Amino acid sequence: MIIGLGLAVVTYFIFYWAIIKFDIKTPGREESSNMKNTLIKEKRYGEIAEILIRALGGKQNIRNVDNCITRLRVDIGEVNQIDKELMLESGCTAFFIPAANHVHIVYGPKVEFVRNAVDEAMKK
């Protein structure tokens, strides 16, 4: 048992050194190429809403917007009008299309603020 504890400590420090020395991309250390982190962290929900509406094909393509705890659920008219690259720039973690005219966009616990901004932008 003592040998196992010693090996655990040695292994920890060897892997810690290797990860730092060789810049190994472990989960949570990878770099993000889009501006999603900035938009969410700076609470720029209005900008997120504008980008999201453009990514979904415009106001005319959006039928209904709803949310759950972490996802924005959007009913759309035409799925082929979705701009996937622009969708990722809106700050979402991920998105998927579970049905022909339905999109789930994952924003995390701040999704309620994003939905409110989308509702306001849709009224304009």
| Active centre residues (catalytic) | 68
- Find all residues with CB under 8 Å of 98, minimum gap 6, and list them: 104
111 alpha carbon, distance to own chain's centre: 10
What are the backbone dihedrals phi and psi of residue 102, each rounded to the nearest 5 degrees, phi first? -140, 135
Q: Is 8 helix (H, G, I), strand (E, B) or coil?
A: helix
